[in-house]
Amino acid sequence: MDALSAAPALPTHERRSLYRRVTSAIGDQMPKGLYARALIIIIAPMVLLQSVLTFVFLERHWQTVTRRLSTVTVQNIAMLIDIYRNFPQDANAEILTRLAELDLGLRVRFVPGEDLPTANSKPFFDLLDTTLSDELKRQIGRPFWIDTVGRSNFVDIRIKLDDGVMHVLARRSQTYASNSQIFLLWMVGTSLVLLTVAILFLRNQIKPILRLSEAADSFGKGRPPPNDFRPRGAREVRQAANAFIEMRDRIERHVEQRTIMLAGVSHDLRTVLTRFKLQLAMFEDSPELEAMRADVDEMQAMLEDYMAFAKGDAGEEIVRADVGEILNEVKSQAHGTKDIVIDLNEAPLVVPIKRHAFKRAIANLVNNAARFAEHVKVSAAWQNGALTIEVEDDGPGIPENEREQVFRPFYRIDHARNQDSGSTGLGLAIARDIARIHGGDIALGQSHLGGLKAVLRVPV
């Protein structure tokens, strides 16, 4: 005790750290789903309540009733022993045996000169055996032998007398509360009924939440919500569903208004560029005129990039498309005559996507790689429930601290990869925007070919 009392207590920060580790370990083992957690919330109090009731019933009621019944049985046996000893005129104890069976419900038999059998091992959890033994010791105080498990409906009691052994067969219902199992069966049965009803109601309450989650996930991936989606369930779930529908409608209206506005701006600017081209076509060819025409073409290409970035191809419908066909089209339309290798681990790869937008994102990645490298490798495969497309090259690459910055619109770095005059600085931004419209993303890393690796991952 002195050593324990002298042991230093843990500092406060260590106790907090230990508490956080323990709670974190417990939290990791707990179920993560709302349905399972709600079931635990319902089942745990019910099990605890019934465990307490069972304990109280067994320890108080059942034990009290059993003790009283055993006491009465032993009192009757003690009375029979006293009568047998004090009234010897009933030589064969026939009258005593008959009265015991008729009035007390006990089958009694006296066997002169007999000894008690060898004591049996007592059941560890048998309440009757313990209670009956205690009462026999307290009220009779003679050697005895009992068997509470040998016969299903009777309890065999044998008591050593001066001239022999007294055999007593008592009905089991006379010695302990035999209807306790009925209570347990009723308790377990009603619990199962209540749990079944609770599970059915809980499933109906969880289902609208799952439908709302599916609708939000579909909207985040640019897909239409399920056809049968509508606010259901409890009031709070309906409020959340209505808030989601209003938010979705506001976003769609905002995108539609922006698209209409940008379409009008695009039309006006294209009209001006068309007049420039017509006016330039009226002049004689010269180096200066070719430079002006190149500037107009570059302005038109920049305008297309700006409009694509701002619009985000939000109005395109979702279709099931073959990724292999898209990659082959991108390869055939890639800028220059670079060595582009297509690697499909599985064929066909058919996924629900916005085909034209998705093709534009891949084309931006491939053209960006082909612009600065001699060899480009494009691979597509399923990985952890997502479509993963990797574009690798052997070009100069991008410094690690700049790989996230290059996704910003119009961002340029002082590196050979961003010094091409034909680039508007929107290719990677457009590609990531399209990936995120599909619920995915794009990440940059180091390629095995020595250059840059762009990984486009879209959940399907």
**Residue 334's closest CA among 380, 366, 362?**
366
Task: List, by residue range, all CATH 3.30.565.10 domains of the chain.
Answer: 319-459
What is the pLDDT, as a whole number, of residue 36?
74
pLDDT digits (tens, 9 = 90+) for 317-364: 788 888 888 888 888 877 665 688 888 877 778 888 888 888 888 888
Please report, for residues 32, 43, 204, 239, the alpha-carbon distance to residue 234 in angstroms, rounded to integers and kept in the order given.
21, 21, 10, 9
What is the pLDDT, as a whole number, of residue 27?
66
Q: How many other CB atoms are there within 10 angstroms of residue 406's CB atom?
A: 22
**Rounded Cα gap, residues 11 and 9, in angstroms:** 6
- pLDDT band with cut points at 50, 70 and 90 for residue 3: very low
- pLDDT band with cut points at 50, 70 and 90 for residue 226: confident
**Rounded Cα gap, residues 216 and 228, in angstroms:** 14
Report whether the peptide linkage leading into residue 224 is cis, meaning its omega lies within 30 degrees of zero: no
Q: How many helices (H) and strands (E) does the chain have?
A: 13, 11
What is the pLDDT, as a whole number, of residue 48?
83
**Rounded Cα gap, residues 213 and 427, in angstroms:** 32
Q: Which amino acid is at 109?
A: R
Which range scores top for mean pLDDT: 173-177, 275-279, 351-355?
A: 351-355
**Rounded Cα gap, residues 303 and 273, in angstroms:** 10
What is the pLDDT, as a whole number, of residue 310?
60
Q: Span 380-397, mean pLDDT?
A: 86
Task: List, by residue range, all CATH 3.30.450.300 domains of the chain.
Answer: 32-220
Architecture of domain 319-459: 2-Layer Sandwich (3.30)
What is the pLDDT, as a whole number, of residue 363?
87
pLDDT digits (tens, 9 = 90+) for 438-455: 888 888 888 888 888 999
Q: What is the dihedral of CA 212, 218, 224, 229, to 10 degrees?
A: -20
Decide if pLDDT at 127 tops 70. Answer: no
Decide if pLDDT at 386 tops 80. Answer: yes
Decide if pLDDT at 303 tops 50. Answer: yes
Q: Across the chain, what does the average pLDDT equal?
A: 78
Task: List, by residue range, all CATH 1.10.287.130 domains of the chain.
Answer: 236-311
What is the pLDDT, as a whole number, of residue 285?
77
pLDDT digits (tens, 9 = 90+) for 200-219: 888 888 888 888 888 888 77
**Rounded Cα gap, residues 369 and 392, in angstroms:** 7
Supply the CATH classification number for the domain 236-311: 1.10.287.130
Supply the CATH classification number for the domain 32-220: 3.30.450.300
